[in-house]
Amino acid sequence: MFENPWLMLVTSLPGPSGTPRMRVWRALKAHGAAILRDGVHLLPANEESERILGQQAEHIEEAGGSAHVIAFSPHDAGQERHFQMLFDRTSDYAQWGAEVTTFVNRLAQLNEADGRRQEARLRRDLEAITAVDYFPGAAGEHAVATLHDVESTVNARFSPDEPTATDGAIPVRSSADFQACRWATRRNIWIDRIASAWLIQRFIDSQATFEWLEDTAGASAGAVGFDFDGATFSHVGNYVTFEVLMRSFGLHDVPALAKLGALVHYLDVGGVPVPEAAGFLAMLAGAKEEHRGDDPLLNAAGALLDHLYVAFSAEDGK
């Protein structure tokens, strides 16, 4: 018995069944299935593959055809290697890498909205490849590292003053000590600053006002700084500012906020992918294009975060 048994979908459709056949082919292609011959598709065996192939088998049978999902193991190591090679994504990663090179070469000519939107597309395209990379190797690891480099390059282009993380414990604060404050951060807000400002308004200081700084040394006397070096609240260890604020004010145990924290962390500094990341980033880029100025952008982005918070809360309530 080999470590990676396989599932095979064997189908037959009568006569001119172009539309059902094409619908099934597209669905299986989207999930990365290999074609052994006409009507015979292959996937590594797991629960998701079983669900996918079973679903397509049902569609075939509803269209008047026949379909069988067959679990099997290869008869020798050579056949196992042959099957695995059918799922080699090296060329997909290479094509993605070429698109990255084109993007980086053109980045200086792009405004921030276009740059962020194209970054989001590259992230989404890579996630689509890795989702069907059933036997990941060096090419996938290199692509993930490349994406992190792209994120750093884009941030250096549009957010050159990203804060440096400090070491140490995160002090516990009381929201009662931070009411009707003026909060200050760097202008031209993006992921972490947008989410942090939303969190402040929504859960910490409902009467908060904001100061968007060209120079962080120019904050008003008494202003509470966040997300810049020397600010009261900024990156600590592996935590981005949004996560630091959650932990400072005892909000990190709220499941929906914890999910938002994972999303913000991933989009700001990378790490574990979050399913909603690409869609949220694309909408945020659109909001930035439509709303000039940090106050209008915060209002628009705040509505998106409100909706995500409600959706995450509903998931937790199921």
At 81-90, the pLDDT tens digits run: 999 999 999 9
User: pTM (2 decimals)?
Assistant: 0.71
| Strands of 194-317, DSSP E | 209-213, 224-225
CATH topology (fold) of 6-85: Alpha-Beta Plaits (3.30.70)
Write the CB contacts of 211 (distance below 8 Å, at least 6 apart in sequence): 182, 183, 184, 185, 219, 220, 223
Per-residue model confidence as pLDDT tens digits over 27-50: 999 999 999 998 899 999 999 999
Mean pLDDT of the chain: 91
**Spans of all domains in the chain:** 6-85, 90-158, 175-317
Q: What is each CA distance from 77 to 5, 6, 70, 179, in whole angstroms?
A: 12, 13, 20, 67
CA angle 95/102/104 to nearest 5° reads 120
pLDDT over 60 at 1, yes or no: no
pLDDT range class, residue 317, cuts 50, 70, 90: low
Residue 3: pLDDT over 60 = no
* Confidence (pLDDT) at 184: 97
Residue 117 above 80 pLDDT?
A: yes
Q: What are phi and psi of 226, to 5 degrees?
A: -150, 145
The CA-based angle 262-176-260, given to 5 degrees, is 10
Contact at 8 Å (CB) between 210 and 197? yes
Digit-coded pLDDT (tens) for 206-265: 999 999 999 988 899 999 999 999 999 999 999 999 999 999 999 999 999 999 999 999
Query: Helices 294-317 and 191-199: crossing angle, nearest 10°?
Result: 70
